[in-house]
């Protein structure tokens, strides 16, 4: 069995800035603190957090949406990859990111219960918050 959940977070950066960082090896590494190898190309494989996460870009809408397969080293070997869909929406002062994580293997609840927040959203808020303050007059 598998399940799905949705998380949201807001950042002080444009949808384009978050989109570009997510799909750039250097940007993804800087935004999370974990080494990443990624590409903005559909069909390209990626890894993040020093190889802990791996997947493939399935669909890309520049500045708006990213659909990727997603697998961690903790997924049981016979479980299929999960899927993440990132929607980026401009809001006053920044971007609302809505993450839908589907086909998550049962027992892999740590991602919903703090993994995304501590390994992505909190570092992203520090990174993009600093960048926003840095470029304001």
Q: Could you write out the three-class secondary structure of the chain?
A: CEEEEEEEEEECCCHHHHHHHHCCHHHHHHHHCCCCECCCCCCCEEEECCCCEEEEEEEEECCCEEEEEEEECCCCCCCCCEEEEEEEEEECCEEEEEEEEEEEECCCCCHHHHHHHHHHHHHHHHHHHHHHHHHCC
Q: Domain 2-135's class?
A: alpha beta
Confidence (pLDDT) at 112 = 58
Q: What's the pLDDT at 21? A: 96
Separation CA 107–CA 97 (nearest Å): 25
Give the chain's length. 137
pLDDT score of 65 more than 90: yes
Confidence (pLDDT) at 110: 56
Q: What is the average pLDDT score of the chain? A: 87
pLDDT at 134 over 70: no
Domain ranges across the chain? 2-135
The tens digit of pLDDT for each residue in 72-110 reads: 888 878 889 999 999 999 998 899 999 999 988 776 665
pLDDT at 46 over 50: yes
130 vs 53, more confident: 53
């Amino acid at each position: 069995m598998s399940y799905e959940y949705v998380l949201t977070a807001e950042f002080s950066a444009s949808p384009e800035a978050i989109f570009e960082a997510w799909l750039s090896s250097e940007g993804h590494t800087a935004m999370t603190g974990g080494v990443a190898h990624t590409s903005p190309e559909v069909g390209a494989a990626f890894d993040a957090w020093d190889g802990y996460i791996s997947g493939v870009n399935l669909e890309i809408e520049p500045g708006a949406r990213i659909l990727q397969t997603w697998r961690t080293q903790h997924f049981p070997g016979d479980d299929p990859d999960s899927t993440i869909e990132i929607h980026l929406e401009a809001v006053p002062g920044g971007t609302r990111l809505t993450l839908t994580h589907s086909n998550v293997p049962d027992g892999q609840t740590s991602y919903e219960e703090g993994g995304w927040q501590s390994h992505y959203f909190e570092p992203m808020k520090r990174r993009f918050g600093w960048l926003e303050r840095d470029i304001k007059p």
